[in-house]
Amino acid sequence: MLSWARTWRLPCGGLQLSRTSLSAVPVAPSSSGRGGAEPRPVPLSYKLLDGDAGRPALVFLHGLFGCKTNFNSIAQALARQTGRRVLTVDARNHGDSPHSPDMSYEAMSQDLQDLLPQLGLVPCVLIGHSMGGKTAMLLALQRPELVERLVAVDISPVETTSSADFPAYMAAMKAIDIPHEVSRSCARKLADKQLSPLIQDLALRQFLLTNLVEADGRFVWRVNLDALAQHVDKILAFPSQQDSYPGPTLFLLGENSKIVRPSHHPEMRRLFPQAQMQTVPNAGHWIHADCPQDFMAAIRGFLA
């Protein structure tokens, strides 16, 4: 799902969060959707920037191993440039949102179907990167009345092929051994050293280490590695859908990324008949990190 060759320029940290819980990560009740029941939504952590309530808000959804602060700079800039409300959200099992054993796209869509009306943000402009883009696409297909327009950032509604060995990465993260009562800088150095034999890409290690947080005097991973490892195949796949989304759609692609392939185009056109594609030069999978000005210009152009 992620392209590891690019530099991670927007780490999961920085500005203080609003309307979030900063205590230990809560655990949501199990909701497997058995018997055809809808997945049980979890109360997502979010940050909402104020703006004109008369226009659809911009809602940003991050990718695998990410968090809402991946979009801090982008969200603040677009709030100023467009005058709109801007919402950034932590997906379940990520950031400050609750942990849950269910990591399906149906569950992640249900979380947003619960949150967005509560905040009075429907219909909205839904902008999702990678895993977040698949969540955004499924929500638009399931509940088109909630989505005024859609932006899928370097992702398509088909199974994603990746060269990354996600199970091995997660196993290495789970095996990290850090003594109690060490400083944050020391903990990160120890974790980095233990991850480096398997994960040789420094940028990738630094990105994963943004998920290392202190809780009760010890360092833990705030992502739910058990749930992510169990559902890697689901995260790389996309649920089969019959109905299309009739609204305006932009597939924003990185020129140097190989995530979205020409063979994906027929399914993209079938499910999103009003779609347009735009390629950002010199960008990899993380377009908003590689070329933030071009990314924002594409969003503003799509809104015009």
Both 154 and 253 in one domain: the answer is yes
Both 156 and 58 in one domain: the answer is yes
**Cα–Cα distance for residue pair 250/94, rounded to 1 Å:** 26
Q: What is the largest CA-CA distance in the chain?
A: 55
- Does a structural domain hold residue 289? yes
CB 51 within 8 A of CB 85: yes
Q: What are the DSSP calls for 21-76, one per residue?
A: --SSPPBPPP---GGGPPPPP----EEEE--BTTSPPEEEE--TT--GGGGHHHHH
Q: Is 288 a catalytic residue?
A: no
What pLDDT does residue 100 have?
Answer: 97
What is the domain extent for residue 281?
Answer: 46-160+238-303
Both 194 and 71 in one domain: the answer is no
Both 113 and 262 in one domain: the answer is yes
Query: Smallest Cα–Cα separation from 287: which of 33, 49, 71, 43?
Result: 71
As a whole number, the mean pLDDT across the chain is: 88
**Cα–Cα distance for residue pair 49/10, rounded to 1 Å:** 18
pLDDT in tens, 242-286: 999 999 999 999 999 999 999 999 999 999 999 999 999 999 999
- pTM reported for the whole predicted model: 0.87
- Does a structural domain hold residue 26? no
**Number of structural domains in the chain:** 2
- Does a structural domain hold residue 140? yes
Residue 174, token pair as written in the block: 């789970």
Residue 123, preceding peptide bond in cis (omega within 30° of 0) = yes
pLDDT in tens, 190-237: 999 999 999 988 888 998 999 999 988 889 999 999 999 999 999 999
- Does a structural domain hold residue 88? yes
Beginning with the edge strand found earlier in the chain, give each strand of the sheet holding 124-129 in spatial order: 46-49, 86-89, 58-61, 124-129, 147-153, 249-254, 275-280
- Does a structural domain hold residue 21? no
- Does a structural domain hold residue 285? yes
Q: Is 285 a catalytic residue?
A: yes
Both 194 and 130 in one domain: the answer is no
Place 36 in a pLDDT band, splitting at 50, 70 and 90.
low
- Domain boundary residue among 228, 248, 267? 228
Both 61 and 149 in one domain: the answer is yes
Catalytic residue among 3, 104, 109, 130: 130
**Cα–Cα distance for residue pair 124/150, rounded to 1 Å:** 9
Stretch 130-147: mean pLDDT, rounded? 98
pLDDT in tens, 4-33: 222 233 333 332 233 333 334 455 554 444
- Domain boundary residue among 180, 202, 228? 228
Catalytic residue among 62, 129, 285, 288: 285
- Does a structural domain hold residue 173? yes
Q: Is 156 a catalytic residue?
A: no
- Does a structural domain hold residue 17? no
Catalytic residue among 114, 192, 201, 226: 226
